[in-house]
Chain A
Amino acid sequence: MSTRIATGGRLLNKSNAVSFSFNGKQLRGFEGDTLASALLANDQMLVGRSFKYHRPRGVVAAGPEEPNALVNLGRAGKFEPNQRATTTELFDGLNAESQNHWPSLEFDVGAINKYLSRFLPAGFYYKMFIHPRPFWKHVYEPIIRHSAGLGKAPKDQDADSYEHFYAFCDVLIIGGGVAGLEAARTAGRSGARVILLEQTAHWGGRAPVDGGTIEGTPVNSFVDDLVAELSTMSNVEMRTRVMGAGVYDHGYVLGYERLTDHAPQAAGPRHRLWRIRAGHVITATGAIERPLSFAGNDIPGVMLAASIRDYLVNYGVSVGDRTVVVTNNDDAYRTAIALVEAGLSVPAVLDARVLPQDSPLMVRAKELGIRVMMGHAISRVKGTKRVAAVEVCSQAGEGAVLETIACEAVAMSGGWAPVVHLWSHCGGKLVWDTTLATFRPDVDNPPLGADGHGFVTAAGAAAGFFGLDDILHDAHAAADGVATALGFKLPSEVVSPNASRQEEAPLTPVWLMPQGAGVNLREKAWLDYQNDVKVSDIRLAAQEGFVSVEHAKRYTTLGMATDQGKLSNVNGLATLAGAMNADIPSVGTTTFRPPYHPISMGSIGGEARGDVFQPVRRTPMHDWHEANGAEWEPVGQWRRPYSYNRPGESTHDAVMREVTNTRTKMGLLDASTLGKIIVKGPDAGKFLDLLYTNMMSSLKPGKCRYGLMCSENGFLIDDGVVARIDDDTFLCHTTTGGAERIHQHMEEWLQTEWWDFDVYVANVTEQYAQIAVVGPNARKCLEKLGGMDVSKDALAFMEWADGTLGGFDCRIYRISFSGELSYEIAVDAGQGQAFWDALMVAGNDLGVMPYGTECLHILRAEKGFIMIGDETDGTIIPQDLGLNWAISKKKDDYLGKRAQERSHMVDPNRWKLVGLETTDGSTLPDGAYAVGDGVNENNQRTMIGRVTSTYHSPTLGKGIAMGLVLNGPDRMGEVLDFPGTDGKTYQAKIVDPIFYDKEGAKQNV
């Protein structure tokens, strides 16, 4: 059984025991434990079930590469699935549950799948669930969805908060092992601004576990001294619990900081996403040990050799009394030696290699009495929920069992692979190192920055250097080179420390154990534990023609689980290469994509949740609207009142009331959101003549004119009233959604094409509160406020004037989007609420009521006024809408003119705007299509028109609509069929789009 031993545990605070629960069982661990080490210390070897076959699975590794030990963590608002036990720091009260099992971890019904595994090969789902077609949706998919998947989706709102942090530095070093620390010291001493990130809570990486001496002192104390030295350097920022998650263009790096995962009761955000801009990035990300592929290599108790060493040294955990070591390299001997030195038993080291002479580590193992069996391998591991024994065979053979060795644990090592993920994220290339049998960064092909030079440098083990001395020298040289290139200079007295050298015998690549394993062994030899991909699956993929590595990956799901193939990728590639008789570099790797290890969705969202999920733009009268029954409508980021509902009143009734009241008495509209852009300069008129389809330069100061704006492709993009303020200055109104867009449109043309025009523009939308005072009583209301002359003679339709009303400085535009007598009055935004209040008081006995956007829509539709976004959708030109009167014939050019002359734009069969009136007075469904005879080339009903705006008009007592119809204006009086989505077909007559006061008498009083 796995247990805590008396000695070891350098990361533990044994004076502080903590309790936690796993699947409801109360267990105890120590401060400093990871969840994985605490589970192992409690003999919890079985931690989960695999994805496909529901096989029992135990902890394999001790770091972020762990594929099996995923748990549901926490409860309610703190619940999170797929948390890695190996990277979860233990805390008092931690609550974890294993995943992917039913009804229980110990007894799992889904494990039946393993007996069916012969029938569930790679591509099974693709092959099986294609026929019969309807079965997918109703039978297969629900069943698969129920049985697949790892953790549960959280059901409660996340109780934690998250944030981002923008940081800048010259040199960013990712990884706080000895390489990262030495690189930080070197770069720091050169004077560069340095940030050093370490994903765990501890500095030094795995060097303190692996041992050795640096400058004559043990690694441990060297690390402590170095950390102390770095802490005194004000230009070096050191952060633990921050993982380098992704490297992007221009030296942009994401760091994932876990602030309170280990202390959930602490105040402050849970995670912080560092958004770092670095002059140069050094990846000192170390290496990950590879498993070996032998039958039963997924049985709980089979672990990576170095991870067994980690649990022993860091956490004082013995995975079993008897551990069989199986290896193709020297490093696993360190585990054998450490175990025996800790008083545990290593019945054998099965070394797949055949070497001419023993290396020093082998000699040391033999001195300790360990039985070293060269050229030997594991034929099969015996056991189900935990290891019981291994069957030994010759590596060169087909797996004939020579001997069975009883044991509780198997320590396997297939060699080491540098963590090249961050190097590769932005395009760094890899080379195959035949000596190490691994990919490592190709120093000649780094990811390139904007200047054409590499901006990432790998250092230490991440660069393919594995001896302690080599690692330190490489890290020092890398940091020195980086700092020098950035213009810093390392003082000559700062030199690389020297470390003890340990001679090692070379590794022999082993991709299958034994090398002649038959299919019965291969189909129990796991490559990808999390996604249940075996050696046999990869071979099948190759056999079925999936020879591209990216295809084989997707066909078999190798490396597609939440661990992204950290353990399986190289073994999988090698297996694929073997099946194809190709060499590994020619097969290549799959693409490394950020993040390196899953990061929380919360950290990506940062602060953007709840109240600050998105900006909500409020007008100066927002609070008044809110207090007076506003039903809000989002218009871009603005909130505008759709209607003001009185107690007990439905929204529809409120809208009808507002329309009638505005037509008969008087209404107030908050029009502050409409864009207002100042265009000033000697060339302002010329500029606007090019922007608008009609002539603006001829407008006289004091006058207003409605204008249309098109894109260079001829399509209508905005409309609004332009007021000429003085000879040099215009004020252009835009739609609510158009303010920023049209401002940018103007700047773009001024900066890129018409840079020689003397014109400046300024967006002053928010400087003003603008209130439309609309209806027959509007003038009386303003006269009651008193001040400037608002009579027809003093201020005629389509004129504007500055003055005061009721003591407020204001500018009045006599413009109308309703067909009524209407004044749009702008005051400084800070005066907006007070002015609105004054209007409400003055209008009290004139029948004033506020009205919202739906009333505005109905008023304009009754008048046949188009609305950008309703009658237009980016494919509509003014001519479609019968707006030819607003297109100047006199101008040589305007944006869109030439496009509108193209054959498709002048096609007489373009749908044109008409009014629509149902034959029974009902209201047409919005967006409904008019159908004609026959079908089109896709066998759909022929369509001859569509509804763009439709309302019930209380003024006319019937449904009115506008629509675009084929040859519409020539078909007045014709009745069209509009099938609705409710099964009904609506009939509507084509009429003039102006339903109300066609002569414009009411607005011109």
Chain B
Amino acid sequence: MSEAISALNGAVFKEGIAEILGLDPIGMISIRGDLSASYMKKALKKAVGVGMPGIREISLAGDKGVAWMSPDELLLICPYTDVANALESLKKGFGDNHALAVNVSDARAVFRIKGPNTREVLAKLAPVDLSPQAFGPGMIRRTRLAQVPAAFWMEDTDTAQLVCFRSVAQYVFDLLKTAAQPGSEVGFYRS
């Protein structure tokens, strides 16, 4: 195996109202199953050490975590190199129960949006209430970014991490750059 190549390989845009960074791949496992079942909660705890997130929430502990995606879908997050172990751990945890866990790490591209205007850059592209009262760390939105699906969460109040499909990584990077163009501050959110 050679080193996994991300779709954009370290793209950076720093000239705008927020910094846009293409990140190295992270481990992502798509999980479908009964989110209320105790085996599911235990399997998550065992695999990444966090509890079940609430609706539209993300439970993160360092570089591991679980995000709520839909009433029967989760996204498990871990270091890229831990995916095989996490999958194995989930498989054991699920036992004979009907559930699905698949590796989607390579199907995604990951970005970080950084700086005081992060919320505005996202609000130009996603139909999401990004005000600090409505959306803060610990929450995730599975939504669209202009014309493609995307999901994002706040790492801290000024930093967001965003995932999209790998094939549209360039489109999303260009979108974020456009939304962060110099002189395009909106000045809408107040802390």
> Which residues of B are in contact with A by a Cβ distance under 8 Å?
1-2, 4-7, 25, 30, 32-33, 72, 98-100, 102-108, 120, 123-131, 134, 146-148, 165-171, 174-175, 178-179, 181-186, 188, 190
Which A residue sits closest to B84, measured CB to CB?
A809
Q: Take A163-B124, A267-B183 as given contacts and tell me if A764 and B2 are in contact as well, using a CB distance cutoff of 8 Å.
A: no
**Structural contact, A607 and B179, CB atoms closer than 8 A:** yes
Rounded to whole Å, the gap between the CB of B56 and the closest CB of chain A is 15
Bound CA–CA A760/B128 (angstroms): 28
Bound CA–CA A793/B77 (angstroms): 40
Q: Does A614 contact B (CB under 8 A)?
A: yes
Contact partner of A615 (CB less than 8 A), chosen from B1, B5, B148, B181, is: B148
Bound CA–CA A650/B125 (angstroms): 41
Q: Does A829 contact B (CB under 8 A)?
A: yes
Which A residue sits closest to B30, measured CB to CB?
A762
**Structural contact, B188 and A165, CB atoms closer than 8 A:** yes
**Structural contact, A766 and B166, CB atoms closer than 8 A:** yes
Bound CA–CA A166/B128 (angstroms): 7
> Which residues of A are in contact with B by a Cβ distance under 8 Å?
161, 163-168, 193, 234, 237, 266-269, 272, 275, 277, 606-608, 611-612, 614-620, 637-638, 678, 680-682, 758, 760-762, 764-768, 807-809, 828-834
Please give, as numbers and ranges, the residues of chain B lying within 8 Å of A266 by CB-CB distance: 183
Rounded to whole Å, the gap between the CB of A727 and the closest CB of chain B is 12
Closest 8 CB pairs of A and B: A267-B183, A268-B183, A830-B4, A617-B167, A766-B107, A829-B106, A760-B32, A760-B100
Please give, as numbers and ranges, the residues of chain B lying within 8 Å of A809 by CB-CB distance: 1
Rounded to whole Å, the gap between the CB of A750 and the closest CB of chain B is 10
Bound CA–CA A767/B165 (angstroms): 9
Contact partner of A618 (CB less than 8 A), chosen from B147, B170, B179, B190, is: B170
Contact partner of A163 (CB less than 8 A), chosen from B30, B100, B167, B184, is: B184
**Structural contact, A682 and B181, CB atoms closer than 8 A:** no
Rounded to whole Å, the gap between the CB of B108 and the closest CB of chain A is 8
Please give, as numbers and ranges, the residues of chain A lying within 8 Å of B126 by CB-CB distance: 166
**Structural contact, A830 and B124, CB atoms closer than 8 A:** no
Please give, as numbers and ranges, the residues of chain A lying within 8 Å of B99 by CB-CB distance: 760
Bound CA–CA A760/B175 (angstroms): 33
**Structural contact, A166 and B107, CB atoms closer than 8 A:** no
Which A residue sits closest to B149, measured CB to CB?
A740
Q: Take A828-B4, A833-B5 as given contacts and tell me if A766 and B165 are in contact as well, using a CB distance cutoff of 8 Å.
A: yes
Which B residue sits closest to A809, measured CB to CB?
B1
Please give, as numbers and ranges, the residues of chain B lying within 8 Å of A269 by CB-CB distance: 181, 183-184
**Structural contact, A167 and B106, CB atoms closer than 8 A:** no
**Structural contact, B190 and A234, CB atoms closer than 8 A:** yes
Contact partner of A762 (CB less than 8 A), chosen from B1, B25, B100, B148, is: B100
**Structural contact, A834 and B5, CB atoms closer than 8 A:** yes
Which A residue sits closest to B175, measured CB to CB?
A612
**Structural contact, A607 and B125, CB atoms closer than 8 A:** yes
Contact partner of A829 (CB less than 8 A), chosen from B147, B166, B183, B188, is: B166
**Structural contact, A616 and B127, CB atoms closer than 8 A:** no
Besides A767-B107, A808-B2, 10 new A-B residue pairs in contact (Cβ under 8 A), listed by A number: A272-B186, A607-B146, A615-B147, A615-B168, A681-B98, A682-B98, A762-B100, A764-B107, A766-B167, A767-B102
**Structural contact, A830 and B5, CB atoms closer than 8 A:** yes
Can you pick out 26 interface pairs between chain A and chain B where the beta carbons lie within 8 Å of each other? A163-B178, A165-B124, A165-B186, A168-B134, A237-B188, A268-B182, A268-B184, A272-B186, A607-B125, A607-B178, A612-B178, A616-B168, A618-B167, A618-B170, A637-B168, A678-B100, A682-B98, A760-B99, A766-B166, A766-B167, A767-B103, A767-B105, A768-B106, A808-B2, A828-B4, A834-B2
**Structural contact, A608 and B166, CB atoms closer than 8 A:** no
Rounded to whole Å, the gap between the CB of A312 and the closest CB of chain B is 35
Interface of chain A: mostly helix, strand, loop or mixed = mixed
Bound CA–CA A704/B191 (angstroms): 57
Bound CA–CA A618/B167 (angstroms): 5
**Structural contact, B127 and A275, CB atoms closer than 8 A:** yes
**Structural contact, B171 and A616, CB atoms closer than 8 A:** yes
Rounded to whole Å, the gap between the CB of A419 and the closest CB of chain B is 26
**Structural contact, A764 and B102, CB atoms closer than 8 A:** yes
**Structural contact, A829 and B174, CB atoms closer than 8 A:** no
Bound CA–CA A556/B108 (angstroms): 57
Please give, as numbers and ranges, the residues of chain B lying within 8 Å of A268 by CB-CB distance: 181-185
Please give, as numbers and ranges, the residues of chain A lying within 8 Å of B165 by CB-CB distance: 617, 766
Q: Take A612-B178, A830-B5 as given contacts and tell me if A166 and B25 are in contact as well, using a CB distance cutoff of 8 Å.
A: no
Which A residue sits closest to B80, measured CB to CB?
A830
Please give, as numbers and ranges, the residues of chain A lying within 8 Å of B5 by CB-CB distance: 620, 830-834
Please give, as numbers and ranges, the residues of chain A lying within 8 Å of B100 by CB-CB distance: 678, 680-681, 760, 762
Rounded to whole Å, the gap between the CB of B143 and the closest CB of chain A is 10
Q: Take A607-B179, A809-B1, A831-B2 as given contacts and tell me if A619 and B146 are in contact as well, using a CB distance cutoff of 8 Å.
A: no
Rounded to whole Å, the gap between the CB of A687 and the closest CB of chain B is 13
Please give, as numbers and ranges, the residues of chain B lying within 8 Å of A237 by CB-CB distance: 188
Bound CA–CA A606/B126 (angstroms): 13
Rounded to whole Å, the gap between the CB of B47 and the closest CB of chain A is 17
**Structural contact, A638 and B175, CB atoms closer than 8 A:** no
Bound CA–CA A832/B166 (angstroms): 12
Which B residue sits closest to A759, measured CB to CB?
B98
Rounded to whole Å, the gap between the CB of B126 and the closest CB of chain A is 7
Which A residue sits closest to B134, measured CB to CB?
A168
Bound CA–CA A407/B2 (angstroms): 88
**Structural contact, B124 and A164, CB atoms closer than 8 A:** yes
**Structural contact, A830 and B179, CB atoms closer than 8 A:** no
Bound CA–CA A32/B1 (angstroms): 67
Rounded to whole Å, the gap between the CB of B191 and the closest CB of chain A is 9
**Structural contact, B4 and A168, CB atoms closer than 8 A:** no
Please give, as numbers and ranges, the residues of chain A lying within 8 Å of B4 by CB-CB distance: 828, 830-831
**Structural contact, B123 and A165, CB atoms closer than 8 A:** yes
Bound CA–CA A809/B175 (angstroms): 34
Which B residue sits closest to A618, measured CB to CB?
B167
**Structural contact, B102 and A607, CB atoms closer than 8 A:** no
Please give, as numbers and ranges, the residues of chain A lying within 8 Å of B146 by CB-CB distance: 606-608, 612, 615
**Structural contact, B175 and A607, CB atoms closer than 8 A:** yes
Please give, as numbers and ranges, the residues of chain A lying within 8 Å of B178 by CB-CB distance: 161, 163, 607, 612
Please give, as numbers and ranges, the residues of chain A lying within 8 Å of B32 by CB-CB distance: 760-762
Bound CA–CA A279/B4 (angstroms): 47
Rounded to whole Å, the gap between the CB of A678 and the closest CB of chain B is 6
Rounded to whole Å, the gap between the CB of A483 and the closest CB of chain B is 17
Bound CA–CA A832/B3 (angstroms): 11
Please give, as numbers and ranges, the residues of chain B lying within 8 Å of A762 by CB-CB distance: 30, 32, 100, 102, 104
Rounded to whole Å, the gap between the CB of A445 and the closest CB of chain B is 30
Bound CA–CA A586/B168 (angstroms): 56
Please give, as numbers and ranges, the residues of chain B lying within 8 Å of A637 by CB-CB distance: 168
Please give, as numbers and ranges, the residues of chain B lying within 8 Å of A165 by CB-CB distance: 120, 123-124, 186, 188
Which A residue sits closest to B25, measured CB to CB?
A830
Bound CA–CA A761/B98 (angstroms): 12
Rounded to whole Å, the gap between the CB of B29 and the closest CB of chain A is 10
Bound CA–CA A937/B99 (angstroms): 59
Rounded to whole Å, the gap between the CB of B65 and the closest CB of chain A is 19
**Structural contact, B98 and A758, CB atoms closer than 8 A:** yes
Which A residue sits closest to B33, measured CB to CB?
A760
Rounded to whole Å, the gap between the CB of B109 and the closest CB of chain A is 10
Rounded to whole Å, the gap between the CB of A168 and the closest CB of chain B is 4
**Structural contact, B147 and A830, CB atoms closer than 8 A:** no
Which B residue sits closest to A266, measured CB to CB?
B183
Contact partner of A168 (CB less than 8 A), chosen from B72, B104, B131, is: B131
Rounded to whole Å, the gap between the CB of A625 and the closest CB of chain B is 13
Please give, as numbers and ranges, the residues of chain A lying within 8 Å of B183 by CB-CB distance: 266-269
Bound CA–CA A474/B175 (angstroms): 44
Contact partner of A616 (CB less than 8 A), chosen from B7, B170, B185, is: B170
Rounded to whole Å, the gap between the CB of B187 and the closest CB of chain A is 9
Bound CA–CA A163/B122 (angstroms): 12
**Structural contact, A828 and B147, CB atoms closer than 8 A:** no
Q: Take A830-B5, A831-B4 as given contacts and tell me if A620 and B184 are in contact as well, using a CB distance cutoff of 8 Å.
A: no
Please give, as numbers and ranges, the residues of chain A lying within 8 Å of B125 by CB-CB distance: 164, 607
Please give, as numbers and ranges, the residues of chain B lying within 8 Å of A168 by CB-CB distance: 129, 131, 134
Please give, as numbers and ranges, the residues of chain A lying within 8 Å of B104 by CB-CB distance: 762, 764, 766-767
Please give, as numbers and ranges, the residues of chain B lying within 8 Å of A615 by CB-CB distance: 146-148, 168, 171
